[in-house]
């Protein structure tokens, strides 16, 4: 065996560069095939072995070896970052987020934790969540039903991101967020349909005073974030598998004799949001929200419409989606510049997404008209009573009036007039959008 090993080594040394590359390519292909065929248990066993070997190697290294290893890692990382493209940078940031979550989140058995928030995984059932990039917020909203924080996914996403923006300087100072990743994290958090950054997920507990428990598919707890205020306003239990979040509820409904009790807490509003930082525990009156409603199982959504491909439950008909193929929405091509601005590929994407309503208002042709319902205090909803309509102004503005709506298109100082309508817009981006409108509607 030793002679065969020496002969194989000698043979490898005699190979040309092309032969060596062919041999390595074959080995890589074999490794990829083995990895693709392995089960979750085999994959976890392989990764556990790698982690153990790395831990043993680092445990035996001296201080000089450790410093030399870290210095080499930093040098190689700087060289890679200096030569990487924008796409490679985004891929690296995503990989760092996944790695950071795996390192910082302690994996432990749920049965070993004696807390009301962490319950055995066997006692929970999975609630399927759509996989459209908003799965985290859908899952959390499913958990918040019947609590003082009950809300919808879009409002939760906007509110959480707004609070993260407020505490971003503190997060950077604490080392929780890298300065160069701050803009990317905020943009991704605000963009609907975009996977929530890993740095933002644990901040749910900090911003809304809830206990967050994230389970893995094997039943262990990936992450447990305690609310700074105890007892928490709500308990959020979700499942993360293959970068997708599902909601978790108790397998057996809670008996009516054991109602859900929550502290008196206002709903999700800006006035009642408070600060995201930790607050000292305080005595608060309690009230009964409601007993948990009995579960209703609609079955799997495993039927697909043969006309449009929409997924349906067993009780739904094809008339529900496309009327048996009678309704067909034409596909529209999005201009490349606009797509880059929306998807974060343009250098002015952050500015565009942050002030998108200002740019939309500066470029609109009509104004919205409706009878609104006004309620006291801060109202996060846009409530309309009656019919919704659009108002069009006269073709030309009066001499003493500032042009607005489509009047700016019949004015010699088109860009200047439109820019003066909003102090938030940047002339360069506004001119880019104006040129795009002219090209698409010329």
End position of a domain, from candidates 254, 271, 291: 254
Same domain, 363 and 226: no
Q: Give the number of other CB atoms < 10 A from CB of residue 281.
A: 10
Q: 353 and 390, same structural domain?
A: yes
Q: Check: CB of residue 129 under 8 Å from CB of residue 246.
A: yes
Residue where one domain finishes, among candidates 192, 222, 254 = 254
Q: What is the DSSP track for 208-272?
A: HTEEEEEE-TTSEEEEEE--SSSS-SEEEEEEEETTEEEEEEESSPPPTTS-EEEE----S-STT
Between residues 265 and 36, which one has the greater pLDDT? 36
**pLDDT: is 13 or 25 the higher one?**
25
Q: What is the pTM of this model?
A: 0.37
Indicate if 234 and 340 belong to the same structural domain.
no
Q: What is the pLDDT of residue 395?
A: 52
Residue 241 lies in a domain: yes
**Beta-bridge mates of residue 287:** 262
Q: Regarding predicted confidence, which is higher, 377 or 350?
A: 350
The model's pLDDT over 52-93, given as tens digits with 9 standing for 90+, comes to 887 787 778 888 887 888 788 778 777 777 887 877 777 666
d(CA 171, CA 189): 15
Residue 437: per-residue pLDDT: 86
The answer to whether residue 279 is domain-embedded is no
Q: Which residue did the predictor score with more confidence, 206 or 281? A: 206
Do both 184 and 121 map to the same domain?
yes
Residue 98 has pLDDT above 60, yes or no: no
Q: Supply the pLDDT for residue 230.
A: 78
Other CB atoms within 10 Å distance of the CB of residue 143:
23
Both 249 and 126 in a single domain?
yes
- Asked whether the predicted pLDDT for residue 215 surpasses 80, the reply is yes
Q: Are residues 119 and 231 in the same domain?
A: yes
User: pLDDT at residue 342 above 80?
Assistant: yes
**One domain, residues 209 and 316:** no
* pLDDT band with cut points at 50, 70 and 90 for residue 1: low
Rounded CA-CA distance 421/434 in Å is 14
Q: What distance in Å separates the CA atoms of residue 43 and residue 51, rounded to the nearest whole number?
A: 12
Per-residue DSSP letter, 222? E
pLDDT for 344:
86
pLDDT for 439 beyond 50: yes
For residue 126, what is the domain's CATH number?
3.90.70.80
- What's the length of the chain? 442
**pLDDT higher than 80, residue 272:** no
Quickly state the pLDDT bin for 267 (edges 50, 70, 90).
very low
| Structural domain includes residue 31 | no
Cα separation, 302 vs 311, in Å, equals 6
Per-residue pLDDT tens for 344-355?
Answer: 888 888 888 888
Domain assignment present for 20 = no
Residue 382 lies in a domain: yes
Structural contact between residues 257 and 277, judged by C-beta atoms closer than 8 angstroms: no
Instruction: Over range 329-338, report the average pLDDT.
Output: 85
Q: Is 40 part of a structural domain of the chain?
A: no
Angle, alpha carbons 149-153-159 (nearest 5°)? 65
Both 313 and 383 in a single domain?
no
pLDDT at residue 381 greater than cutoff 70: no
Longest dimension (CA), the chain: 98
**In this predicted structure, which of 162-166, 183-187, 205-209, 419-423 has the lowest mean pLDDT?**
419-423
Mean per-residue pLDDT, 300-316 = 83
128 occurs within a structural domain = yes
pLDDT value at 385 more than 70 = no
List, in sequence order, every residue forming a beta bridge with 165; answer none if it has no partner.
none
Between residues 259 and 173, which one has the greater pLDDT?
173
Residue 238 pLDDT grade (very low, low, confident, very high; cuts 50, 70, 90): very high
**Between the ranges 137-141, 182-186, 219-223, 394-398, where is the mean pLDDT highest?**
137-141
Does 393 score more than 50 pLDDT? Answer: yes
Clarify whether residues 237 and 323 are in a common domain: no
Q: What is the mean pLDDT of the chain?
A: 74
Statement to judge: residues 181 and 113 lie in one domain: yes
Shared domain check, 320 and 340: no
| pLDDT of res. 260 | 42
pLDDT at 75: 82
Q: Which residues form the domain of 315?
A: 300-327
Residue 423's pLDDT band, with cuts at 50, 70 and 90, is low
Number of domains observed in the structure of the chain: 3
Domain identity same for 155 and 232: yes
């Amino acid at each position: 065996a030793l002679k065969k090993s020496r002969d194989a080594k000698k043979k490898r040394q005699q190979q040309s560069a092309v032969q060596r590359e062919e041999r390595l390519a074959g080995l890589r292909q074999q490794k990829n095939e083995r990895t693709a065929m392995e089960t979750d248990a085999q994959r976890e066993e392989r990764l556990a072995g790698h982690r153990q070997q790395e831990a043993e190697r680092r445990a035996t290294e001296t201080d000089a070896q450790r410093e030399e290893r870290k210095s080499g890692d930093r040098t190689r990382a700087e060289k890679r970052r200096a030569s990487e493209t924008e796409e490679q940078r985004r891929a690296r940031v995503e990989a760092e987020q996944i790695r950071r979550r795996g390192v910082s989140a302690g994996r432990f058995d749920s049965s070993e934790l004696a807390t009301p928030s962490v319950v055995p995984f066997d006692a929970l059932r999975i609630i399927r969540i759509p996989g459209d990039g908003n799965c985290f917020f859908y899952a959390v909203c499913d958990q918040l039903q019947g609590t003082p924080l009950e809300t919808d996914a879009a409002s939760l996403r906007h509110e959480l991101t707004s609070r993260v923006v407020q505490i971003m300087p503190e997060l950077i100072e604490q080392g929780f967020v890298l300065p160069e990743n701050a803009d990317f994290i905020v943009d991704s958090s605000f963009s609907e349909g975009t996977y929530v950054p890993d740095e933002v997920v644990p901040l749910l507990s900090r911003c809304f005073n809830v206990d967050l428990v994230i389970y893995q598919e094997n039943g262990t707890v990936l992450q447990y974030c305690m609310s700074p205020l105890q007892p928490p306003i709500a308990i959020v239990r979700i499942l993360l598998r293959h970068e997708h979040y599902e909601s978790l509820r108790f397998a057996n409904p809670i008996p009516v004799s054991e109602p859900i009790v929550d502290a008196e807490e206002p709903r999700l509003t800006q006035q009642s949001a408070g600060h995201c930082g930790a607050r000292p525990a305080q005595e608060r009156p309690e009230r009964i929200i409601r007993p948990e409603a009995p579960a209703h199982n609609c079955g799997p959504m495993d039927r697909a419409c043969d006309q449009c491909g929409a997924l349906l439950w067993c009780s739904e008909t094809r008339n529900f989606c496309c009327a048996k193929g009678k309704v067909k929405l034409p596909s529209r091509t999005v201009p490349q510049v606009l797509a880059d601005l929306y998807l974060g590929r343009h250098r002015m994407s952050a500015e565009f997404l942050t002030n998108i309503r200002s740019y939309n208002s500066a470029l609109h042709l009509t104004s919205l008209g409706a009878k609104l319902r006004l309620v006291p205090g801060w109202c996060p909803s846009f409530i309309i009573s009656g019919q919704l309509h659009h108002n069009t102004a006269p073709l030309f503005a009066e001499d003493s009036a500032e042009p607005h709506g489509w009047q700016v298109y019949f004015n010699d100082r088109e860009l200047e007039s439109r820019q003066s309508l909003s102090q938030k817009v940047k002339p360069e981006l506004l001119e880019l959008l104006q040129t795009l409108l002219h090209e698409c509607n010329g």
